[in-house]
A and B are shown apart, each in its own frame.
Chain A
Amino acid sequence: MPHLEIDGAVKRYGGKTVLHGIDLALGQGEFVSLLGPSGCGKTTLLRIVAGFERPDGGRVVLAGSDITALPAARRNMGMVFQAYSLFPNMTAEENVRFGLKVRRETPAAQQARAAELLALVGLAEHARKYPHQLSGGQQQRVALARALAIRPALLLLDEPLSALDAKVRVQLRDEIRRIQQETGVTTLFVTHDQEEALSISDRVVVMQEGRIAQAGTPAEIYGEPANIFVARFVGAAAELRGRVRDAEAGLVELCGRAVPAARARGLAAGSDVHVLLRPETVRLGPPGAAEALLEGVVASRVFFGALTSIRIEVDGGFSLAAAMPSAEAGAVAQGSRVSIWWDGEAPRVLAAG
């Protein structure tokens, strides 16, 4: 039995439907991310689970109990918000104790639990500080400790990292995952940042206009996007229009040339397709290389530290990007001609239409 089950959740604002019957289940201890662009309904879904919004249809079941009509205060869910949400009049420790105080736990139990949680998030020495004396990252860590202190049945994270700067964001992201694994709390995480979702989750649910576009492990979402929306939203990929030339052999016609794309097998010969090529699957070599499938000219190079991104204008009128280790990219000069190839298993092929 799933720990959390969202069954046909529908939400409308005025005449606009923002959630079209979402079905989603989370297993005990699972970390699931809701990923999607602004306005796709991910936060609305989280707020329905939290009890801040009532669905217009469907139900929410937690550990076998229907909690759809239960007020937020009685759901026993810890939540970390996008905005800094610590109570300004309370110290870090008092903030963490707040939920326990509401539950009328003894002062000794409150203190012990607050100390335990502040140590877990690495802020034991900041217990007596007020929120304004803490950095943004520290405030969010206290908010996480506060959410976990009540031993929540579910942890809800509503873009808790988006207000932080890049370095702190990565640190806290890793820390959230560590803490989640240590505590084993079932977690629903909302983000619009694909890197965050892919790096932290057991499962990613990509949402588009109030519907689930795809749900799967990060590797499935990245490697096997179910449709062109997911492919465009998750990771970078060159999106090439082609036609299936030989469905049995797995050959696709690009710019008048037959190139291998194993995933074209089973599609109707002659049908139009999108061929998606991740930059890291594209190989480059000197012109006339034996493996060459296409040729082109290096249009630009962007250095990203370990990797260099190289944009190539392919003969035949389209461009694609390749990512190479920077140590090897020195051989590929801007303006030079290169041959291009890839492994036949690498391209994702989606029926166009």
Chain B
Amino acid sequence: MRGVLGRLLPEAWLGLLGLYFLVPLLATGAFSLWEGGSRYGFAAYVALFHQPKLWQSLFLSVRLAVETILLGLIVLVPAVFWLNLRVPRLRPVFDFISVLPFVVPPIALVAGMTALYTGPDWLVGTPNYLVIPYVILALPYTYRALDLGMRVLDLRTMTEASQSLGAGWGTLIFRVVVPNLTTALLGAALLTIAIVMGEFTFANILLFNTFAVYINYVGQTSATQASALTLLSFLITWLAMLGVLVSGRGGRSVQIGGAR
């Protein structure tokens, strides 16, 4: 009897944990379908999808996510490459910098940024401005993903092997390093999407109507539509996370052996 209980205990815990995550989601889903009284339907979703502001905010967030990914990778790929290849002794410094976004509250970052940044019109005063804090927010995840990918690769040997075969830096980076970092790059990109799609503080304080800000706005005007939007937001984040998991699973074989 005790043996059976012992065997079932892990499953029981797993079930409880599953309920902990699923019940609020199911309740949100049920509430998003509520049309008053005992009527249920997709009215909230239909109303929501007919609002141009939803699509504007969603597209804005997606665009910002793409820009954040590009800027983050352009800055970090060469930096992490150089760190691993030439200055591994600076790793503690890089590690420290990468966790600063966890330590400094977003509100302090916003206050600091508004005081610090000046720049061209296409940047300051436009949503593009958000890309800078978003790169900082995504830094811990992007840096870790890239650093791990490069450490697994044995960058020094790869670099020397390709140089001894006559390859320059361009060939090395684009034909050897980047193809072997697809998993790390994809992981970094998907984590960045998840962060940018859910970021609220910066956008709200700097008065840009991103997806998260729009969810908040809808929440103040229509509770059922807010529930529908929350589920949509969850779906996007989950898809990004699922992408990280799937690419990570495929990536192990890439990193160990390079099957494709």
- The chain A residues found within 8 Å of chain B, CB to CB, are 50-52, 71-79, 81, 83-90, 98-99, 102-103, 130-133, 143, 146-147, 150, 156
Contacts and interface: CB of A to CB of B under 8 A. Distances in A.
Contact of B258 (A83, A90, A98, A146): A90
B256 A146 contact: no
A132 B259 CA distance: 8
B258 A132 contact: yes
B167 A52 contact: no
A133 B258 CA distance: 9
Given A73-B163, A85-B160, 14 more contacts: A52-B160, A72-B164, A76-B166, A79-B161, A81-B160, A87-B258, A88-B180, A88-B255, A89-B260, A90-B258, A98-B167, A130-B258, A130-B260, A133-B257
B253 interface: yes
Contacts of A73: 163-164, 166-168
A130 B165 contact: no
Contact of A150 (B166, B179, B253, B255): B166
A146 to B, nearest CB: 7
B186 to A, nearest CB: 14
B223 to A, nearest CB: 50
Overall SS of chain B's interface:
helix
Interface residues on B, range: 20 to 34
A103 B157 CA distance: 21
B179 to A, nearest CB: 4
Contact of A88 (B164, B165, B254): B254
B167 A85 contact: no
Interface of B: 153-154, 157-158, 160-168, 171, 175-176, 179-180, 253-260
A79 B161 CA distance: 7
Contacts of B259: 130, 132-133
A132 B165 CA distance: 21
16 contacts: A51-B163, A73-B167, A79-B164, A81-B161, A85-B157, A85-B158, A86-B161, A87-B258, A88-B255, A88-B257, A98-B162, A102-B166, A131-B258, A132-B256, A132-B257, A133-B259
A81 to B, nearest CB: 5
Nearest to B164: A79
Contacts of A77: 164
B183 to A, nearest CB: 11
A85 B158 CA distance: 6
B164 A89 contact: no
Nearest to B172: A73
B160 A102 contact: no
B157 A146 contact: no
Nearest to A76: B166
Could you say which of B154, B157, B164, B176 has the most chain A C-beta atoms within 10 Å of its C-beta?
A: B164
Contacts of B157: 81, 83-85
Contact of B163 (A72, A133, A143, A147): A72
A263 B160 CA distance: 47
A81 B155 CA distance: 13
Contacts of B160: 50, 52, 72, 79, 81, 85
Contacts of B153: 88
A78 B176 contact: no
A301 B218 CA distance: 88
A102 B260 contact: no
Contact of B162 (A76, A83, A87, A143): A87
Contacts of A50: 160, 164
B257 A130 contact: yes
A75 B157 CA distance: 17
Contacts of B171: 102
Nearest to A131: B257
A143 B160 CA distance: 13
Contacts of B256: 88, 132
A147 B180 CA distance: 21
